[in-house]
């Protein structure tokens, strides 16, 4: 039987060393392990807990050592983080077990010279009983937010300047904890009502949402891909924000649709279902292996109107005009930190460099919208430079397009003051990820 702490440490080291995404690294490691379901849950809790709380954990560790953190061997530091997380945040794990298991883990990695150090630091943290003396909020608000919510100060400053303190603190409060899992019902094969019943039969808790039709939130899933309902093609996993984006595009049966930067294909799948699998969707991406993911997903779902194509989204090579064009552009990802917590620690998130690329993609793709057609620009980030500023600039420089007001009903309320054709969604425990949508119509 595998060791969940050993697995967790290996995952954390790979994420650090390879600059890898946590969700992909975690899924691959779990598949390759022989952990049972309980140990998988424990390993996941530690991995995501350490990633979500890294700044806080490092701050606590620094209070109990004389050396600088960057002088500590990386695997020793990650063992300390794992131990402090268990002591500070995992009530069901006795402090003594957290300390002893971390020492054992160090020995298994041949870190014998560090065992005394690890033991001493973790026992000191345990004796502190949660009294870690965080920065004073009144004296240094930025440092307090950074340590308390484990978020870099530059990102917090960006949000404070863009959205104000109340919204920023709400964003920070929703950075941690596992987000809800939403699925889009494949209406080509099953109704939402019947799929809900099918989930319950499989022991999976499922319930509809008032925010959008044909979406279910599911719990107690275990491995989603191992579910028979997944193999049957009855659903695909998709956050509410992406589903709302597809709704705003308003595809109808018989449309010709271009989906740029399409991989892994979730929006193309939802669009196809909204079109009753009638029409044409060209799903473009820059990498061939990503196109294969789209093709495999479409086949599983029984969708045959998606045609994949290798294409750079800024390419100006002519295409036939389309009824609907979706540009879900590469972005800094600040809206999905709770799904990929390592994003917040990346040295180059592209906050300052991406806006120009995004605008170039939007401008290029707009050439392929027919007169009377719809263009949707979207990101999964919370950064006005990437979002509102690009949308504003596009209208200023493209008089042949007009803004289209976004109205998703009373269940989706605007949080900030922005033009009617723009909508910023903020993360919350029961709702969507952070996301931005803007809609335009080609008028000439």
**pLDDT digit string (tens) for 280-296?**
999 999 999 999 999 99
Q: Is residue 287 located within the same domain as residue 379?
A: yes
Mean pLDDT value across residues 435-440 = 98
Q: Is residue 22 located within the same domain as residue 106?
A: yes
Decide if pLDDT at 273 tops 70. yes
Helix (H, G, I), strand (E, B) or coil at 218: strand
* Cα 25 to Cα 46: distance, rounded to the nearest angstrom: 14
Radius of gyration, CA atoms only, the chain: 23
Q: What is the largest CA-CA distance in the chain?
A: 73
* Cα 379 to Cα 412: distance, rounded to the nearest angstrom: 17
Residue at 362 is within a domain: yes
Q: Is residue 199 located within the same domain as residue 119?
A: no
- Count: domains in the chain: 4
The parent domain of residue 394 ranges over 241-442
Mean pLDDT value across residues 357-373 = 98
Q: Is residue 246 located within the same domain as residue 158?
A: no
Q: Is residue 150 located within the same domain as residue 209?
A: no
**237, 260, 285: which is the final residue of a domain?**
237
Q: Which residues contact 141 (CB under 8 A, 6 or more apart)?
A: none
If you count them, how many residues does the chain have?
A: 444
* Cα 16 to Cα 342: distance, rounded to the nearest angstrom: 9
**195, 219, 237: which is the final residue of a domain?**
237
DSSP letter string over 405-436? -----TTS---S---TTEEEE---TTS--SEE
Q: Which residues pair with 206 in a beta bridge?
A: 218
Strands 369-379, 435-442: pairing is antiparallel
Residue at 135 is within a domain: no
Decide if pLDDT at 253 tops 90. yes
Decide if pLDDT at 413 tops 80. yes
Count Cα neighbours of 15 within 13 Å in the Cβ-side half-sphere: 27
Q: Is residue 232 located within the same domain as residue 245?
A: no
Kindly provide the b/e burial profile for residues 139-156, where b requires at least 16 CB atoms within 10 angstroms of the residue's own CB.
eeeebbbbbbbbbeeebb
* Cα 354 to Cα 63: distance, rounded to the nearest angstrom: 37
What pLDDT band is residue 133 in, cutting at 50, 70 and 90? confident
Q: Is residue 39 located within the same domain as residue 188?
A: no
* Cα 198 to Cα 268: distance, rounded to the nearest angstrom: 25
Residue 310: its pLDDT value, please? Answer: 96
Q: 222-247 pLDDT, tens per residue?
A: 778 889 999 999 999 999 999 999 99
Where does 207-287 have alpha helices with state H? 228-231, 240-249, 266-274
Decide if pLDDT at 439 tops 90. yes
Q: Is residue 210 located within the same domain as residue 350?
A: no
What pLDDT band is residue 1 in, cutting at 50, 70 and 90? low
Residue at 133 is within a domain: no
Decide if pLDDT at 220 tops 80. no
Q: Is residue 265 located within the same domain as residue 354?
A: yes
Residue at 112 is within a domain: yes
CATH code, 212:
3.30.70.1170
* Cα 127 to Cα 130: distance, rounded to the nearest angstrom: 8
Mean pLDDT of the chain: 94
Ranges 186-190, 250-254, 342-346, 368-372: which has the least confidence: 342-346
Q: Which residues pair with 440 in a beta bridge?
A: 375, 403
Tell me, yes or no, if 380 is annotated catalytic: yes
Residue at 219 is within a domain: yes
Strands 256-260, 280-285: pairing is parallel
What pLDDT band is residue 22 in, cutting at 50, 70 and 90? confident
Residue at 416 is within a domain: yes
Residue 429: its pLDDT value, please? Answer: 66
Q: 59-86 pLDDT, tens per residue?
A: 999 999 999 999 999 999 999 999 999 9
**237, 265, 280: which is the final residue of a domain?**
237
What pLDDT band is residue 430 in, cutting at 50, 70 and 90? low
Helix (H, G, I), strand (E, B) or coil at 356: helix
Residue 347: its pLDDT value, please? Answer: 80
Q: Is residue 230 located within the same domain as residue 276?
A: no
Residue at 134 is within a domain: no
CB atoms within 10 A of CB 285: 23
What pLDDT band is residue 154 in, cutting at 50, 70 and 90? very high
Q: Is residue 257 located within the same domain as residue 350?
A: yes
CATH code, 115:
1.10.940.10
Q: Which residues pair with 258 in a beta bridge?
A: 282, 325
CB atoms within 10 A of CB 88: 21
Ranges 29-33, 179-183, 260-264: which has the least confidence: 29-33
Residue 63: its pLDDT value, please? Answer: 94
Top pLDDT among 316 and 143 is at 143
Q: Which of 441, 375, 436 is nearest to 403 (CA)?
A: 441
Q: Is residue 253 located within the same domain as residue 401?
A: yes
Given the residues 102, 245, 246, 380, select the one marked as catalytic: 380
Residue at 38 is within a domain: yes
Where does 109-182 have alpha helices with state H? 115-128, 141-149, 153-173
Helix (H, G, I), strand (E, B) or coil at 233: coil
């Amino acid at each position: 039987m595998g060791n969940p702490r050993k697995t967790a440490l290996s995952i954390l080291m790979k994420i650090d060393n390879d600059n890898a995404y946590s969700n992909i690294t975690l899924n691959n490691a779990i598949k390759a392990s022989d952990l049972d379901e309980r140990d998988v849950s424990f390993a996941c809790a530690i991995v995501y807990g350490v990633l979500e709380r890294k700044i806080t954990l490092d701050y606590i560790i620094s209070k109990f050592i004389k050396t600088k953190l960057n002088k500590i061997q990386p695997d020793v530091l990650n063992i300390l983080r794992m131990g402090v997380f268990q002591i500070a945040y995992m009530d069901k794990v006795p402090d003594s077990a957290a300390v002893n298991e971390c020492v054992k883990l160090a020995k298994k990695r041949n870190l014998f010279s560090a065992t005394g150090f690890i033991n001493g630091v973790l026992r000191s943290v345990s004796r502190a009983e949660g009294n870690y003396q965080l920065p004073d909020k009144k004296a240094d608000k930025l440092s307090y937010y950074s340590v308390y919510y484990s978020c870099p100060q530059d990102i917090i400053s960006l949000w404070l300047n863009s959205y104000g303190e109340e919204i920023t603190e709400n964003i920070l409060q929703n950075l941690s904890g596992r987000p809800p899992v939403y699925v889009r019902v494949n209406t080509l094969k099953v109704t939402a009502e019947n799929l809900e019943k099918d989930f319950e039969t499989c022991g999976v808790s499922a319930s509809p949402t008032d925010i959008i039709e044909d979406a279910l939130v599911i719990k107690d899933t275990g491995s989603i891909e191992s579910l028979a309902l997944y193999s049957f093609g009855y659903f695909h996993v998709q956050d509410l924000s992406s589903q709302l984006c597809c709704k705003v595009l308003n595809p109808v049966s018989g449309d010709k649709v271009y989906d740029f930067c399409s991989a892994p294909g979730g929006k193309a799948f939802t669009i196809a279902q909204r079109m009753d699998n009638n029409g044409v969707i060209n799903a473009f991406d820059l990498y061939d292996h990503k196109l294969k993911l789209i093709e495999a997903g479409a086949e599983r779902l029984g969708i045959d109107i998606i045609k994949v194509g290798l294409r750079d989204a800024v390419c100006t090579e002519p295409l036939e005009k389309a009824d609907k064009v979706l540009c879900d552009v590469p972005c800094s990802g600040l809206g999905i930190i709770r799904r990929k917590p390592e994003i917040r620690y990346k040295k180059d998130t592209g906050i300052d460099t991406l806006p120009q690329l995004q605008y170039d993609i939007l401008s290029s793709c707009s050439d392929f919208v027919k007169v009377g057609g719809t263009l949707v620009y979207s990101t999964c980030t919370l950064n006005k430079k990437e979002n509102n500023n690009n949308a504003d600039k596009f209208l200023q420089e493209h008089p042949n397009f007009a803004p289209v007001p976004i109205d998703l009903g009373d269940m989706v309320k605007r949080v900030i003051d922005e033009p009617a054709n723009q909508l910023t969604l903020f993360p919350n425990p029961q709702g969507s990820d952070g996301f931005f949508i803007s809609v335009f119509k080609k008028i000439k």
